[in-house]
Structure 1
Amino acid sequence: MLEIKSLNQFYGESHTLWDLDITIPEGKCTVLMGRNGVGKSTLLECVMGLVKVKSGDILLKGESILGLDAEERPRKGIGYVPQGRQIFPMLTVQENLEVGLPIRDKGDRQIPEFIFDLFPVLKEMLHRRGGDLSGGQQQQLAIGRALVVNPKLLILDEPTEGIQPNIVQEIGDIIRMLNEKMGLTVLLVEQKLPFARKVGDCFCILDRGRQVATGEIQELSEGLIKEYLTV
């Protein structure tokens, strides 16, 4: 589904991502892991066109997307939930969801009903401002907004950060359902190991901007956790 090939990225003189070669298999949930500051969010921003790539390539279903502006990449079937949710606090829930409608086909520019099936609270709060929602409700809104574009690949950057435990469990169940029953490929940045093990099929660990380990989620050993994930 998504291939990162020999990717290098710099912030000024700082070499942030080093020759990354990562494959995100279609139909799977891949968890991108690593301590804070190793380049996980930067990699996602490269995929979404929010930061420039120095060299290498990013392929979606075999087609390079590097030449596309950030506004064009969702049209290729990528939904993105950034770290911190980044909803529009002064817009209503409905208006936040409608932001993604222009990406959809002209004859189908309505908020999909299945989003309200996944997140009933959003239907109840359609006319409430996004900034008035709880953190968990805002995260549900952010995921719902990403789903409006009808993605084939869903990218989530730490969706459990600052979320109450009951909503964390609900989000985990929804990610698994989107992956298993609706066929979405998922790329997830996550720090919480129990959550990663629950939702992930595969893992990839970054350390100082380099890929250091990858495999099936059951191969995530205590040795790897101690060396690359424990703070």
Structure 2
Amino acid sequence: MSGFAPTDRVLVSPRHLADAGTDPLRDALGPLIRLFGWSHTHDAATGHITLDSPCHGAFIDFTPSNPYGPWWRTSHHEPYWQAQFGRHTPIEAIAAFTQALPQFLGDTRHADRIPLSTNTLVECARLNGWDMTADAQATVFTSADGHCVLTHAPHADRRWQIQHRLADDADTAWFASVTQATPARLSELEADLLQRRTQAEAEGRIGEIEGIDLTLTFLRAKRDETQRRAQRPAVHLGIPARRRPQESE
């Protein structure tokens, strides 16, 4: 693609071969800010961006300075889950995910401008020529060219995982995943948030500190609830005895 400038917009097919784009704020986060009123912070020096939904049920963290881990994190409360996207994840995929969040949270404004697919995952795979295999542990969808693999393992910590890479080309490698809530995972996220809060406090980012504090409150409440449920003793109701029919006198 040497005939194009770095800022040129081009169409790439299939979409999983695309890259992360040049303006994540406009492409993936802009609609949430402009159309739905999500509060946000932006550190121009590092490119770090955070968004908080009006109902405080979802929180987005974009960290482009992370050299190896995910650049995008979306956390949801009640029930708790977190979605992560790597550096080279196509911006179309991330934008489709973030722009669906308001409707998921019950905000139906602009639903006519952001239509959601009604097809099931199996139907989408079939329409795009993806192969599907399944066993007792997971269902695996593979793109027609074999470069992109989506795995659904309902009992794993990372229920959904997507991995993509062309042979011998690290720049085409990207990943995405959605995790379920576990006490260990919640504790790990709390430690990460505390570290980010310390850094934000040292740099005087007041708005970001408030968002992190709110997320910590939800996170700790969810962790405590998960631990309480795990400690509840099992209730044995027993097996009802069969009643003998009464003999007629």
On whether the aligned pair clears a TM of 0.5, the verdict is no
Tell me: higher relative CO, structure 1 or 2? Use CA pairs within 8 A at least 6 residues apart: 1
Q: TM-score, normalised by structure 2?
A: 0.30
Q: TM-score, normalised by structure 1?
A: 0.32
Higher helix content, 1 or 2: 1
Higher Cα radius of gyration: 2
